[in-house]
């Protein structure tokens, strides 16, 4: 007897649990959430990570200057393209929220950095705007204030 009661309870609980959404019309979300990476964001991320890797490799002495310079310019171009693609995708999307605006600012900063950072003539390392000496090779930098203060 207790067995049947137990089985009936289990069956009832399971039925109630799984049928409720259909009967009551409860819906699970099927759309991408706002804070998730979009495809263009993912691409941008990959491009920036690749850039980061090259700088790491150079700083750690794994790349010589020629290789570093050619790779870096190639990757910078790719990263910029990815950033612009992402920006375009964003522009086509829904109106910007606060967090979107923050991301926009971030991206603007990133782009400014990529475009206006102080590039060392000795090793082509992109330094912080305002730097007077190259962080990678110690070479004196000209036009040290080109990018202006960003922070």
Partner 1 sequence: MTLLGEFALWISLPVALWGMVLGYTGGRTQRGDLVLSAERSVYAVFGLLILASAGIMTAFLTDRFDYYYIANYSNRELELFYKITGLWAGQRGSLLFWALLLAFFSSLAVFLNRSKNREFMPYVAGVLQTILAFFIIVLLFADVNPFERLGFTPANGQGLNPQLQNYWMTIHPPTLYLGFTAFTVPFAFAVAALLSGRLDARWIQLTRRWILTSWLFLSVGIVMGMRWAYEELGWGGYWFWDPVENASLLPWLTATAFLHSIQIQENRGMLKVWNMSLVLLTFLLTVFATFLTRSGLIESVHSFAQELRIAYIFLGFMGSVLAASIILILYRLPQLRSENQIESFVSRESAFLFNNLLFVGAAFTVMWGTMFPLISEGVTGQQISVGPPFFERVNFPIGLALLALAGIGPVIAWRRATKKNLQRNFMTPVIVGLVAAATIWIMGAHHPLALVTWGIGAFVLTVIVTEFWKATRARARIENEGYATALFHLVSRNRRRWGGYIVHVGIVLIFMAFAGAAYNVDERFHMVPGDVAEVTSPMGGTYQLTYEGLSVSLANGQRNLMWQAIATISVVKDGEPQGILTTEKRRYTTQEAGAPPMTEVGIRSYVGEDLYLILSALDDIEGAVAAESDAQGFDLQVLIKPLVSWIWIGCLMLTAGTLIALWPSVDRKRLAEAEPVAEPATAGAAD
Contact status: 59 vs partner 1 (CB under 8 A)? yes
Counting Cα atoms < 13 Å in the Cβ hemisphere of 37 gives: 8
- Token readout for 95 is 């109106």
Cβ atoms < 10 Å from Cβ of 72: 20
Least CB distance to partner 1 at residue 151 (A)? 8
Q: How many helices (H) and strands (E) does the chain have?
A: 4, 2
The answer for residues whose C-beta is within 8 angstroms of residue 69's C-beta and 6 or more apart is 123, 124
Contact status: 17 vs partner 1 (CB under 8 A)? yes
Contact status: 81 vs partner 1 (CB under 8 A)? no
Using CB under 8 A as the binding rule, the residues of this chain from 122 to 151 that contact partner 1 are 125-128, 131, 135-136, 151
**Rounded distance between C-alpha atoms, residue 144 and residue 130, angstroms:** 5
Fill in the per-residue mask, 19 to 58: x = in contact with partner 1 (CB under 8 A), - = not in contact. Answer: xxxx--xxxxxxxxx--xx-x-xxxxxx-xxxxxxxxxxx
- Closest by CA to 146, choosing from 65, 121, 50, is 121
Least CB distance to partner 1 at residue 16 (A)? 10
Contact status: 94 vs partner 1 (CB under 8 A)? no
Which residues of this protein are in contact with partner 1, per CB under 8 A? 3, 6-7, 10-11, 14, 17-22, 25-33, 36-37, 39, 41-46, 48-64, 66-67, 71, 103, 106-107, 109-110, 113-114, 117, 125-128, 131, 135-136, 151
């Amino acid at each position: 007897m207790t067995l049947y009661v137990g089985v009936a309870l289990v069956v009832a609980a399971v039925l109630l649990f799984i049928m409720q959404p259909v009967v009551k019309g409860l819906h699970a979300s099927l759309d991408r959430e706002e804070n998730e990476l979009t495809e263009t964001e993912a691409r941008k991320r990959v491009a920036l990570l690749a850039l980061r890797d090259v700088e790491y490799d150079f700083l750690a002495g794994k790349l010589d200057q020629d290789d570093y310079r050619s790779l870096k310019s190639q990757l910078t171009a790719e990263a910029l393209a990815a950033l612009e693609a992402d920006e375009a995708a964003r522009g086509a999307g829904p109106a910007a929220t606060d967090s979107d605006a923050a991301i926009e600012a971030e991206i603007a900063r990133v782009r400014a950095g990529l475009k206006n950072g102080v590039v060392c003539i000795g090793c082509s390392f992109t330094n912080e705007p305002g730097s007077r000496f190259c962080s990678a090779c110690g070479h004196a930098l000209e036009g040290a204030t080109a990018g202006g203060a960003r922070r």
